[in-house]
Amino acid sequence: MTRHFLRDDDLSPREQAEVLELALAYRDDRFIRTPLTGPRAVAVLLDKPTLRTQVSFGVGIAELGGYPMLVDGRLAGIGVRESISDTAKVLGSMVSAIVWRTYGQDRIEEMAAHVSVPVINALTDQFHPCQILADLLTVAQVRRKQGGVAALPGLTLAYVGDGANNMAASYLLGGATAGMHVRIGTPASHVPDAAVVADAAAIAATTGGSVQITHDRAVALAGADVVATDTWVSMGQEAEAAEREAPFVPFRLDAEALALAAPDAIVLHCLPAYRGKEITAEVIDGPQSAVWDEAENRLHAQKALLAWLLEQQ
């Protein structure tokens, strides 16, 4: 059966650990496995702005021996010029996998329902699961001496900022899958989707992790091993930028906030970052920041994910 990666919990805890182990191996040797040698093509469909996503998938697919076919969503007009199901049938006859950055999660679910090659979510309004794989890889890399991927269960990951966005939802699901204690610090007006919180709690109950939603930045960050934030204005929300600032100011990741976390806490941000808004320059450019490794790890994590999904075909 074709496996897709549409949300973080499409990988079981064991499968997520396998992908992360392979990603660590790719970090050490970028050509350890080249399952797309042929070259076989992978379509990378981009409906929203992108830098890391198009470069990391483009480079990664090439390093796997394949050919990345980058498609500008404005030209393709998926769901507008032609239906998603027709697009799926056309692409499925030509490529070995489909990577898609788009708007609604329903769009990527419809694509996956009509195709027999793996579909990978490269960000939707609801989830950003490839980013969370890269984030977990970054933590495993920093904790290599303590066991790497095996060191993830039991760590506390605190995310402060917009709790209603794709990153918060993916931290909940992906962090719970990894057996972490995930805390979301967010204003009451921007809480995560209740169904996602329930799903994450159910996963956490099986992995030894936990999930907590709090409206107090200090509660979220107290003693945390990993601290993360994200923009207050996600792609598609640009028109609301002015009113999206005030509610999040108390959840800014500044030096005072970071001091509440564990002394060796690592700082993550998926980028692009807005210094002085959700994070201060002192924190993102400071000694605890792992954001450049985190960005590079998109490449290694996605290569491992693609290789793993292709193996299940």
Question: What residue ranges bind ligand NVA (CB under 6 A)?
Answer: 123, 128, 165-167, 230-231, 234-235, 270
**Residue 232 CB, nearest distance to ligand NVA (Å)?**
9
271 is in an annotated binding site: yes
Residue with Cβ nearer ligand NVA (2 or 237):
237
- Residue 147 CB contacts under 8 Å (≥ 6 apart), including other chains: none
Contacts of residues 143-149 at CB distance under 8 Å and 24 or more positions apart, as own/partner, are 144/24, 148/21, 148/24, 149/17, 149/20, 149/21, 149/24
Residue with Cβ nearer ligand NVA (273 or 307):
273
3-state SS track over 18-64: HHHHHHHHHHHCCCCCCCCCCCCEEEEEECCCCCHHHHHHHHHHHHC
111 is in an annotated binding site: no
288 is in an annotated binding site: no
270 is in an annotated binding site: yes
**Residue 90 CB, nearest distance to ligand NVA (Å)?**
27
**Residue 159 CB, nearest distance to ligand NVA (Å)?**
11
Task: Name the residue whose CB lies closest to ligand NVA.
Answer: 234
CB 182 within 8 A of CB 176: yes
Which value, in Å, is the radius of gyration of the alpha carbons in the chain? 19
Task: Give the angle subtended at the CA of 209 by the CAs of 206 and 214, to the nearest 5°.
Answer: 130
Q: In sequence order, what are the beta bridge partners of 269? A: 229
Q: What is the per-residue DSSP string for 252-288?
A: -B-HHHHTTS-TTPEEEE-S---BTTTB-HHHHTSTT
Candidates 161, 156, 163; CA nearest to 209 is 156
69 is in an annotated binding site: no
Residue with Cβ nearer ligand NVA (97 or 270):
270
Residue with Cβ nearer ligand NVA (102 or 141):
102
**Residue 13 CB, nearest distance to ligand NVA (Å)?**
25
**Residue 123 CB, nearest distance to ligand NVA (Å)?**
6
Take residue 270 and report the two structure tokens written for it: 């998926």
Dmax over CA atoms of the chain, in Å, equals 54
97-101 β-sheet, strand order = 67-72, 41-46, 97-101, 119-121
221 is in an annotated binding site: no
Which positions are annotated as active-site residues?
101, 128, 131, 230, 270, 298
Residue with Cβ nearer ligand NVA (156 or 165):
165
Amino acid at 188: A
272 is in an annotated binding site: no
**Residue 237 CB, nearest distance to ligand NVA (Å)?**
8
Q: Which residues of 73-102 are buried (b: 16+ CB within 10 A; e: fewer)?
A: beebebbeeeebeebbeebbeebbbbbbbb
Whether the CA torsion 150, 153, 157, 162 is positive or negative: it is positive
Residue with Cβ nearer ligand NVA (16 or 124):
124
**Can you say which residues are annotated as belonging to the binding site?**
101, 128-131, 166, 230, 234-235, 270-271, 298
Q: List, as residue ranges, the binding site for carbamoyl phosphate.
A: 101, 128-131, 270-271, 298
